[in-house]
Structure 1
Amino acid sequence: MIDTVLVLNAGSSSLKFQVFRVGDLDVLARGKAVRLGEPEPAMDASLADGTRERIALPPACDHDTALAAVLAFVDRHDDAWRMKAVVHRIVHGGERFVDAVVVTPEVFAALEALSPLAPLHQPHNLAAVTAARRLMGDVPNIACFDTAFHARHDALTHNFALGQDLRDRGIRRYGFHGLSYQWLEMVLAEQHPHLHAGRVVAAHLGNGASLCAIQGGRSIDTTMGMTTLDGLPMGTRCGALDAGAVLYMFQSLGMNAQEVSDALYERSGLLGLSGLSNDVETLLKSDDPRARFALDYFALKVAQFAAFMAAAIGGIDALVFTGGIGEHAAPVRDAIVERLRFLGAFEVIVIKANEERVMALQARACLAGEG
């Protein structure tokens, strides 16, 4: 028998998976279900030997049904695999969860209570846990956290300038995309040790976007705060915003909490600036001046916040890009780098994201601890 772990990354309308062999973390299978909850969902899956399948899913397919399709694919190609755990990306771990953990009912309830801090992500992450419990019985579920890489920030970094009463109630900066940043840190340690020991500004740029100041392999600061709304403008999220503007929406514009939430999370960012799309590839191809404005705004803000991150670590030796935009949108990368030339010479590196491998590593360590 081959001991394996199934790694799941559940989004609002997608479910990515990889099957890893526990011993050497070779990838045995992988795939992605897309357009969940929409009219024409589908799943692409493949094996290490190159076998590929395109799998139709029923209309309005939910996470339960998508996971059932993943397990059916695994069963069809199971080569004496023994599933030791299902591993989940959980966006928000709060103050409590700073390492991978087996999801007990008590842990699940604690993570569910954090959903208001990550409303676009946490409910879908936890839906995958619920589906795995129902479909896989006694196989343990392990949670890996996007906040954990930043959990050891010092007090100067994680505090807001608020009264102690509010800070004591959990209003603080947490940071996100930690699984992605941990992968970058690992790659730098192996392939660029001189940079790993130095001052790195890492840029995870996708529909969600943030920056992280890394020094000696440790997160020193990051642009996201208490929620995934802060920092850089993103695909549909506003990024940093004067809190007084939110008060104005409530007090003078008469908007309710749901309307404000929808505006800031769903209708802002690149979509709000351009009025066209949140997709960078679409904006790059457009001749509409609003598309150019949105991209210029994004590049400016990334550069400004990158300088902010550089200040936290006393300079910059490398700017490392990852994520969908960071890996594939060269014109956006170039515009950001050009705005940062005043900082002097620094290396520019692109590293393909691999959050799933970090999750497999953390799960293996968690299982070893359990044993």
Structure 2
Amino acid sequence: MTDAILVLNAGSSSIKFAIYAHTNVRSPALMSGKVINLSHTPQFLANGVDGRPLPQKNMMTFDETTTHENIVSWLLGWVEHENQGYTIRCVGHRVVHGGRDYAKPILLTTSIISQLKALVPLAPLHQPHSLSAIAAVSKWAPKLPQVACFDTSYHYTQEPLARFFALPREWYDRGIIRYGFHGLSYQYIANSLPCYLGELAEGRVIVAHLGNGASMCAMKKRQSVATSMGFTALDGLMMGQRCGSLDPGVVVHLVRHYKMSIEEIEHMLYNDSGLLGVSGISNNMQVLQNSSHPHAKQAIELFCYKAVQELSSLVSTINGIDAIVFTAGIGENSAQIRQQICDRLTWLGVSLDTGANTTHQHVISHPDSLVKVLIIPTNEELIIAQETQSLITTQ
């Protein structure tokens, strides 16, 4: 039996997992996969260490009423009992929100879990699912060490001004501040930059994490200086189903003149906006790119316009720019989106190599470009495994 670290990344409609050797988390994952379509008909997908797809498992016993906790319990049993001989020694979790108290990964206790539950209103689409996964592991093996790795932690290097809202100071004291998210992805990219940029890695870099959830982070010396998301994961860029930055007066207007409830507005902003809301077709960028409907085209153009707007703002926080990195689902896979964004950044000296961009090379900027442009696939699960192993071995 191989001692292993299990990594769980529980999202709203899927649960990603990866298994790493406990003694060597720098090697590729022994196995990785996900359970998708949790709100409909769950489907299991997994690959072995060589990337070879593993046989799909029959999940017909699950349906739209299945909870995240049910799925995690099933997955735990599959990994250790039905699978290839791995003994889980600890579990690392992606937890979106760590609030003001958690600036680094932490070994979970009953008290800490209670504190994380109090943060659910700040990340309603993600935090409950992480907590469900933690609960499932606790029931399955009560004494198994579990570690929480926070998406907010990476941004603790920002100066205080970058975290303020211009509200009465009492609200800052109560924790109404800009936290920032996607930190595990940014941490992976920051760690990887020297391999791609050499000494330039310590310079002024903006990373565009573009997926169904999207944000940007301005880095200097591979640390977060500013980021597009704020108090919640609604802020900043237009996303698959989230609106991004919004005049707060819109919310006041909807309440006052359309008598919308807080619950209705919350659902609209988190679930019915973004690419889905503007297009009226889909939150999936690939579906929109394949569509001939004018609303699909407009949604794509707005997504790119907002991305350029946000990136241009972030340039000022690091006094210029040396490199742009695209990552995550859209950033890594959509040559069209990268092209449309970079075409609006020629004023910065950005110039793409069309061939390199179309074929998804790591470096996609033209040799004459004043700004390096790269594609770096992110790996949040690896960061979680490394942080979990480090924390467990020092206890």
Which of 152, 159, 172 in structure 2 is aligned with 1:154?
Answer: 159
Q: Is 1:149–1:179's contact at 8 Å kept on the other side of the alignment?
A: yes
Whole-angstrom CA distance in 1 between matches of 2:3 and 2:315:
43
Q: Which residue of 2 aligns with 1:239?
A: 244
Q: Is 1:37–1:59's contact at 8 Å kept on the other side of the alignment?
A: no
- State the shift of 1:51 in Å: 6.0
Alignment partner of 1:55 is 2:57: yes
Between 1:357-366 and 1:24-33, the stretch displaced more is 24-33
Alignment partner of 1:293 is 2:298: yes
Q: Secondary structure at the match of 1:204?
A: strand
Cα displacement string for residues 204-228 of structure 1 (whole angstroms, at most 9, x for unaligned residues)? 0000000000111100000000000
Q: Which residue of 1 aligns with 2:366?
A: none
Q: Which residue of 1 aligns with 2:46?
A: 45
- State the shift of 1:120 in Å: 0.7
Whole-angstrom CA distance in 1 between matches of 2:45 and 2:305:
36
Aligned residue-pair number: 368
Q: Is 1:320–1:349's contact at 8 Å kept on the other side of the alignment?
A: yes
The 5-angstrom pairing of residues 82-97 of structure 1 reads 82-97=87-102
Q: Which residue of 1 aligns with 2:353?
A: none
Task: Specify the code of the residue in structure 2 equivalent to 1:259.
Answer: E
Which of 361, 364, 368 in structure 1 is aligned with 2:389?
Answer: 364
Whole-angstrom CA distance in 1 between matches of 2:83 and 2:201:
40
Q: Which residue of 2 aligns with 1:319?
A: 324
Whole-angstrom CA distance in 2 between matches of 1:24 and 1:59:
34
Whole-angstrom CA distance in 2 between matches of 1:298 and 1:240:
12
Alignment partner of 1:24 is 2:24: yes
- State the shift of 1:56 in Å: 2.1
TM-score using structure 1 length: 0.96
Q: Which residue of 1 aligns with 2:380?
A: 355
Whole-angstrom CA distance in 2 between matches of 1:51 and 1:206:
24
Q: Secondary structure at the match of 2:292?
A: coil
Q: Which residue of 2 aligns with 1:169?
A: 174
Q: Secondary structure at the match of 1:151?
A: helix
Cα displacement string for residues 183-211 of structure 1 (whole angstroms, at most 9, x for unaligned residues)? 10011023322231111010000000000
Whole-angstrom CA distance in 2 between matches of 1:180 and 1:299:
21
Q: Which residue of 2 aligns with 1:7?
A: 7
CA RMSD between the two structures = 1.3
Identity of aligned residues (%): 41
Whole-angstrom CA distance in 2 between matches of 1:352 and 1:275:
29
Is there any run of 5+ residues in structure 1 with no aligned partner, and where? none
Q: Secondary structure at the match of 1:235?
A: coil
Which of 18, 37, 57 in structure 2 is aligned with 1:35?
Answer: 37
Whole-angstrom CA distance in 1 between matches of 2:205 and 2:381:
22
Q: Secondary structure at the match of 1:364?
A: helix
Task: Specify the code of the residue in structure 2 equivalent to 1:6.
Answer: L
Q: Secondary structure at the match of 1:54?
A: coil
Whole-angstrom CA distance in 1 between matches of 2:22 and 2:193:
23
Is there any run of 5+ residues in structure 2 with no aligned partner, and where? 350-369
The 5-angstrom pairing of residues 124-163 of structure 1 reads 124-163=129-168
The 5-angstrom pairing of residues 247-266 of structure 1 reads 247-266=252-271
From the superposition, tell whether residues 51 and 244 of structure 1 become closer, same or farther in structure 2 (CA, over 3 Å): closer
Cα displacement string for residues 284-319 of structure 1 (whole angstroms, at most 9, x for unaligned residues)? 011111111110011011011101111110111111
Whole-angstrom CA distance in 2 between matches of 1:46 and 1:211:
30
Task: Specify the code of the residue in structure 1 equivalent to 2:83.
Answer: H
Alignment partner of 1:76 is 2:82: yes
4+ long deviations beyond 6 Å: none
Cα displacement string for residues 42-76 of structure 1 (whole angstroms, at most 9, x for unaligned residues)? 21123225361201222323223322332233223
